[in-house]
Amino acid sequence: MVDKDPALNDVAPKSPRFYGRRKGRPLRKSMKRRLDEFLPEFVFDPSVCPNIQFGRHSDCYLEIGFGGGEHLAGLAAAMPDCDFIGAEPYINGVASLLRYIDERELGNIRIWPDDARLILPNIDTASLAGAYIMFPDPWPKRRHAARRILQPALLDQLAKIIRPGGRLVLASDDPTAKSWLLQTTIAHFGFVWTARRPADWRQRPADLPETRYMKKAERAERQSSWFQFRRCEGQVQAIREETPKI
C-alpha cells in the first residue's frame, strides 16, 4: 500500500476518508522496478518548499488525480520552464507516470502518491500558478455526492494556495460531474469563470494536451467540457443569473 512507503511515513498527516481504487491489475516487472528505483527520487515532500525541491524559482502547478499521468506528462513536456506536482492515490497510475518521466526525461515533475488533500494544508499561500482536476470520478448517484473530489472545502484550500490571477482548470465528460464541477466552483468566492462563449467550454483549450482518454470519450460520443477559472481577490459577485446549458 502507498501509505506504507517509507518516503511518506514522516510527512503524511492523518488521512481523510478516501473513495476509489488504490491498486489495479498486478504491475509488470518493469513498472515495479520504476516504483522501487525512481519513485523515491520524484516523491513530493510537503514539508519542503517546491522551489527547493525543483532547484529553481518558477511557476508551479498542481494536478489532482492525474490518472495514468498522460496529461501531466504532456504539460510538463510542453512547459519545461514550469514545475508540476501530481497527486494520485492509484499506484498503477503512479507507475504509468514514472514511465512517461523516464521515457521523456522529464525533471520538472514531483509526485505525491496519495490523496491530494493530505498535502494541500502544507503548501504555502499563493504559491501555485494554477491547478488541474481533469475527468475526476463522477460519482453520479445523488447519495454519493459527498464522494466527489471537488467540494467547497477543497476549493477553500485551492483558493488559498493559488495566487491571484492563477488558473483552475476542470474537465469532465460526465453530465452529472460537469454540472457539479461548474456550479460548485461558480458558487465559490475565490474563483471566477472566464468563459464568454460556448466554445470556451466545449472545445479543449489549445494549451492542454490531448490524451487517449479524451479520444476514447469522443469515440463513445461523450461530450467533454473544459471549465477555466481565474483566482480572484476578495468576494466575487455573481455575473450570471443562471448557469448556461452545457
- Poorest-confidence range of 17-21, 97-101, 126-130, 238-242? 238-242
pLDDT at 150: 94
The candidate with the shortest Cα–Cα distance to 63, out of 107, 120, 20, 12, is 120
Residue listed under C-alpha cell 509526485: 111
pLDDT at 38: 86
Query: 237 pLDDT exceeds 60?
Result: no
Instruction: Indicate the average pLDDT of the chain.
Output: 87
Q: What is the pLDDT of residues 147-194, one digit of tens each?
A: 889 999 999 999 999 999 999 999 999 999 999 999 999 999 999 999
Counting Cβ atoms within 10 Å, is residue 183 exposed (0-12), middle (13-18) or buried (19+)?
exposed
User: Is residue 54 a part of any domain in this protein?
Assistant: yes
Band the pLDDT of 12: cuts 50, 70, 90. Answer: very low
Band the pLDDT of 6: cuts 50, 70, 90. Answer: very low
Active-site choice (5, 102, 137, 200): 137
User: Is residue 198 a part of any domain in this protein?
Assistant: yes
**Residue 200 annotated to the active site:** no
> What CATH number does residue 151 fall under?
3.40.50.150
| Strands 162-172 and 128-134, sheet pairing | parallel
- Poorest-confidence range of 4-13, 131-140, 213-222? 4-13
User: Is residue 240 a part of any domain in this protein?
Assistant: no
User: Is residue 242 a part of any domain in this protein?
Assistant: no
User: Is residue 245 a part of any domain in this protein?
Assistant: no
Band the pLDDT of 14: cuts 50, 70, 90. Answer: low
What is the chain's percent helix, strand, coil content, to nearest 5?
A: 40, 15, 45
User: Is residue 192 a part of any domain in this protein?
Assistant: yes
Bridge partners, 172 (sequence order): 225
* Helix 175-186, helix 152-161: angle, nearest 10: 60
Band the pLDDT of 221: cuts 50, 70, 90. Answer: confident
Q: Structurally, how many domains does the chain consist of?
A: 1
> Which residue would you say has higher pLDDT here, 127 or 147?
127
Q: What is the pLDDT of residues 27-76, one digit of tens each?
A: 777 778 888 888 999 999 999 999 999 999 999 999 999 999 999 999 99
| Strands 109-112 and 83-87, sheet pairing | parallel
- Which residues span the domain enclosing 143? 2-6+16-231
Residue partners of 96: CB distance under 8 A and separation at least 6:
31, 68, 69, 70
User: Is residue 106 a part of any domain in this protein?
Assistant: yes
User: Is residue 239 a part of any domain in this protein?
Assistant: no
pLDDT at 2: 40
